[in-house]
Amino acid sequence: MRVLVTGGAGYIGSHTLLELMAQGHVVCVLDNYANATPTVLNRVRALSNGQITDFVGDVRDAKKLDEVMAAFAPEAVIHFAGLKAVGESAQKPLYYYDVNITGTLTLLHAMERAGCKRIIFSSSATVYGEPQYLPYDEAHPTNPMSVYGRTKLMAEQILTDWVAAHADRTAVLLRYFNPVGAHPSADLGEDPRDIPNNLMPFIAQVAIGKRDVLEVFGDDYDTPDGTGLRDYIHVVDLARAHVAALGYAAVHNGARPFNIGTGQNYSVRDMVAAFEIASGRNIPTKQSPRRAGDVAAMQADASRANAELGWHATHGLDDMAASTWAWQSKNRNGYDTD
């Protein structure tokens, strides 16, 4: 299939390009490089058959989108382009609504003009909010606790209404749990712009000596060791979920959410221990207060994705830690190769 990947130079987008190309899909990228660098696409080309059409532009630019649609004529879109920092979203709500909501609306208008009827959307388990039960299934009530989470839920609702208005459209809503890890080549990985918000890249930067200490946010949660439990999903497994979603979209209509997680969760201390084993480095930690907005535990029920997408996570914690360490130790400054 001809697939337009918005935000395709990003962490999850770049890994997804490789999996799409490995399955024979023809790919095109639109990225504004707000949180990525063109180096990423060169590395993806080096790791694959190299055929990637790419455009530089913002998903809110209708004229640019029409140019991409006319040039590439996608049969489906995988929509990654968006902002994703929970803390920043509270400080810059209008920016987050503009990029994540206006961007999605502008993309849908362009898809309508071009007759493109299938979209795979990068959503998030954060749409569930405080768990009423665990593991979360797709029927769990949605009550996002952050602006970022609300933009994801609103985009899901927009996509659901867009699809409901026409019988021949598909929206697959992938609710990611916690993406971690890196490509086995160690040439692709997560490269946060500033101080990492997320746990795994922060641990990796402590391991290579870029950060002195990992702050552990809260040790008084109602969990076995008192630290937060999360369902971490290896980025290659997550990338493969998008390929499976494309196959589903080819033969189904309508909108449908899918949890993409492993069903196994780990604590902050579990992640530190796994990384120390993978890296052979000590990870100094400092106990700190809980971080605002954090929930104690998250865990995915991914049985719908297993059954309906034919998708299963295959990478375990050791590979999540080992692949992150291989990427970070090989690319001390991420994609800044200078």
Residues that are catalytic: 148
Using rule CB under 6 A, residue 175 touches ligand WQD: no
The CB-of-1 to ligand WQD minimum distance in angstroms stands at: 25
Structure tokens at 68: 């991409």
Q: Rounded to an integer, what distance in angstroms lies between the CA atom of residue 101 and that of residue 95?
A: 10
Choose between 85 and 116: whose C-beta lies nearer to ligand WQD.
85
Phi and psi at residue 144, to the nearest 5°: -60, 145
Contacts of ligand WQD in 79-138 (CB under 6 A): 84, 86, 124, 126
Determine which residue in the list 216, 260, 321, 322 makes contact with ligand WQD, applying CB under 6 A.
216
The CB-of-292 to ligand WQD minimum distance in angstroms stands at: 10
Using rule CB under 6 A, residue 197 touches ligand WQD: yes
Instruction: State the number of CA atoms in the 13 A half-sphere of 246 facing the CB.
Output: 27
Site track 232-271 with ligand WQD (rule: CB under 6 A), x = hit: ------------------------------------x---
Using the contact rule CB under 6 A, the part of the chain among 20-28, 68-76, 90-98, 211-219 near ligand WQD is 211-219
- Which candidate, 75, 85, 235, places its Cα nearest to that of 170? 75
Q: Rounded to an integer, what distance in angstroms lies between the CA atom of residue 289 and that of residue 207?
A: 22
Can you give the three-state secondary structure of 245-297, one letter per residue?
A: HHHHHHHCCEEEEEEECCCCCEEHHHHHHHHHHHHCCCCCEEEECCCCCCCCE
According to DSSP H, which parts of the chain are helical? 11-22, 39-46, 62-72, 86-91, 93-97, 103-114, 147-164, 199-207, 235-251, 268-279, 303-304, 317-330
Site track 20-59 with ligand WQD (rule: CB under 6 A), x = hit: ----------------------------------------
- Work out the angle at residue 40's Cα, subtended by the Cα atoms of residues 30 and 54, and round it to the nearest 5 degrees: 25
Contacts of ligand WQD in 287-306 (CB under 6 A): 291, 294
Using the contact rule CB under 6 A, the part of the chain among 27-35, 39-47, 193-201, 252-260 near ligand WQD is 193-201
Using rule CB under 6 A, residue 66 touches ligand WQD: no
Enumerate binding residues for ligand WQD (CB under 6 A): 84, 86, 124, 126, 176, 178, 197-199, 202, 214-217, 228, 230, 268, 291, 294
